Amino acid sequence: MKATFEKKGFGGVEAGLLAIPCMRGRVPEKAVSLLKELGAEKDFDGSRGKSLILHTPREKYARVLLIGMGREKNVKIEDFRAAGGKTYSNASLLSAERCAVWMDEKTEIALGDAAQAFVEGFFLKSLRLDIYRSKKKDEEKKEASEEPSEDDDEDAQVKELIVLCEEDLSRNVKEGYILAEAQNYARLLDQEPANIMTPQRMADEALMLAKKYGMDCRVYTSGELEKEGMWGLLAVGRGSAQSPVFVRMGYNEGKGFPQIALVGKAVTFDSGGVCIKPSKGMVAMKYDKSGALVLMGVMRALAELKVPVCANLYFGAVENMPDGNATKPGDVVKAFNGKTIEIVDTDAEGRVCLADAVSYAASKKPELIIDVATLTGAVSIILGRYGAGVMGTDEKAIELMLKCGEHTHERLWPLPLWDEYFDMIKSEIADVKNLGSDRGEAGTITAAMFIKEFTDGVPWMHLDIASVDHIESPTAYFRRGPSGKHVRSLTEFVRAWVQEKAKK
């Protein structure tokens, strides 16, 4: 499937379905004419959440989908993503191979932003995640006037989205497509089960991504991890039959661009180790690799957008399992930077892996380190499923990240790293311990405070995405399953961060 732009008006191209986002009280004249012609002028006024499909045999479009956006003063960019998702669902149900959307140039919202958001929603909705279903459900299609359901058996025959406008929106359409497909790339890999997406498969995927986009990539095996002194990663993987690996991927290496390090958590399955998790919900622990996959999506987007930045991605891929060799509560291990860690809870394994990866990244002296991880269940207690937590030592970077999250609707909320929280991770026998409180107090913050100990003074920002990595209830442009959230916001952040650097 592809996205194209045509600098044309309402009747510019032929398509099986034409979508028109409509503001309440200001429905475009072309749409009003169609409503009158079909005697349906009282059936649609642009009210928010309302949509109507018109059958138009005399037009270039077999059907026209009118999408109510509500009063213009209340319309947000996010509403256009929802409109894009709704359009894809209808186009698929109607077997429209070519789908068009007409963007009314009179809108008060920045038209480029609206078009990009629509494209993002359209393509994010298009991703099917039932990748191992041998036979699709054979259900009759619903009437075109009915609202598509998440459980509908969509034909998925849509091959092209054409954006129509008399203003040039080609750049916005291209960027929306690139960002959505980068996010879908992360989502599709995240859906893979642990018996398929092993640590070695994670490394193989990184190698393939690097080869496709001309990036450098190096994979370190267990023996090399011992030589490098990455005992935290080795400790987490000790109980598994799958050997851990460490991956370093570089984009624009050696060029004189601003240097940023991206560090992801890549636990391909987290049983909890010796401190084994309850069986309820453990099936979702295949998603504990989301952080690294989100950053692989970011690396793909940066390459396709040709962002002038030197970005290095680091992650240790590992499986956390219990056996006779597994790390035990009370064990002490040494991280890459020489600091010692008392393992209080083997289910707090992600931060132990990040200790090695973050300190390795810090040794390369980047201008900023960003780590992304499904790190704590506590962040869901704080924010629910509506946002991720952000912490760090670079206040300007955090402020910029919050703005990018608002723009992409991948929202974040800052949490403090007061000195008192460090007291909660002090160990009596080692430099730090990997769990702050057995009562769960400030769990998200103490986990971040632990990672901070391995940044070695390099400016750093941490995103805890455990609250948003998985969609439990489908939305207008997301199906159930991995979300890939923060591919778009982090890509936008890196672009904005580079621009800020260029001003200095």
Q: Which of 370, 333, 363 is nearest to 349 (CA)?
A: 333
pLDDT in tens, 489-500: 999 999 999 999
Q: Which of 405, 410, 385 is nearest to 473 (CA)?
A: 385
Instruction: Give the residue numbers annotated as catalytic, written as ranges.
Output: 277, 351
Question: DSSP class of residue 140?
Answer: P
pLDDT in tens, 68-109: 999 988 999 999 999 999 999 999 999 999 999 999 866 778
pLDDT in tens, 423-443: 999 999 999 999 998 788 999
Supply the pLDDT for residue 141: 43
| Packing angle of the helix pair 487-503, 170-190 (nearest 10 deg) | 130
pLDDT in tens, 138-170: 433 443 444 445 444 455 589 999 999 999 999
- Taking the C-alpha atoms of residue 423 and residue 425, their distance in angstroms, rounded to an integer, is 6
Confidence of residue 504 (pLDDT cuts 50, 70, 90): confident
pLDDT in tens, 284-317: 999 999 999 999 999 999 999 999 999 999 999 9
Tell me which residue has tokens 């050696």: 254
Supply the pLDDT for residue 450: 98
Confidence of residue 390 (pLDDT cuts 50, 70, 90): very high
CATH architecture type of domain 2-168: 3-Layer(aba) Sandwich (3.40)
pLDDT in tens, 200-228: 999 999 999 999 999 999 999 999 999 99
Task: Write 6-9 long-range contacts (CB < 8 A, 24+).
Answer: 6/162, 6/163, 6/164, 7/165, 7/166, 7/167, 7/168, 7/170, 8/164, 8/165, 8/166, 9/102, 9/164, 9/166
Give the number of other Cβ atoms within 10 Å of residue 288's Cβ.
26
Supply the pLDDT for residue 200: 98
Residues forming beta bridges with residue 318, ordered by sequence position: 267
Supply the pLDDT for residue 79: 96
Alpha-carbon 283 to chain mean position: 20
Supply the pLDDT for residue 493: 98
Buried b (16+ CB within 10 A) or exposed e, 108-136: ebebbebbbbbbbbbbbbbbebeeeeeee
Continuous segment of H or E residues that includes residue 247: strand 245-251
pTM: 0.94
With beta carbons less than 8 A apart as the criterion, state whether 314 and 244 touch: no
- Sketch the domain layout of the chain as residue ranges: 2-168, 180-503
Listing DSSP states for 318-378 in one string gives EEE--STTS--TT-EEE-TTS-EEE-S-TT--HHHHHHHHHHHHHHT--SEEEEEE---TH
Residue 446 has pLDDT above 80, yes or no: yes
Q: Which of 369, 367, 389, 368 is nearest to 380 (CA)?
A: 389
Reduced to 3 states, what is the DSSP secondary structure of residue 161? strand
Reduced to 3 states, what is the DSSP secondary structure of residue 302? helix
**Residues near 502 by Cβ (< 8 Å), separated by ≥ 6?**
none
Tell me which residue has tokens 């970077």: 397
User: Of all residues in the chain, what percent carry a pLDDT higher than 70?
Assistant: 95
Supply the pLDDT for residue 134: 84
Q: Could you tell me where the DSSP H helices lie in 411-456?
A: 420-423, 443-452
Q: Which of 194, 288, 281, 207 is nearest to 241 (CA)?
A: 194
With beta carbons less than 8 A apart as the criterion, state whether 166 and 6 touch: no
Name the token pair of 486.
């923060």
Q: Please name the amino acid found at residue 64.
A: V
Confidence of residue 135 (pLDDT cuts 50, 70, 90): low
180-503 CATH: 3.40.630.10
**3-state SS string over 38-66?**
CCCCCCCCCCCCCEEEEECCCCCEEEEEE
Q: What is the mean pLDDT of the chain?
A: 93
Tell me which residue has tokens 């494209």: 119
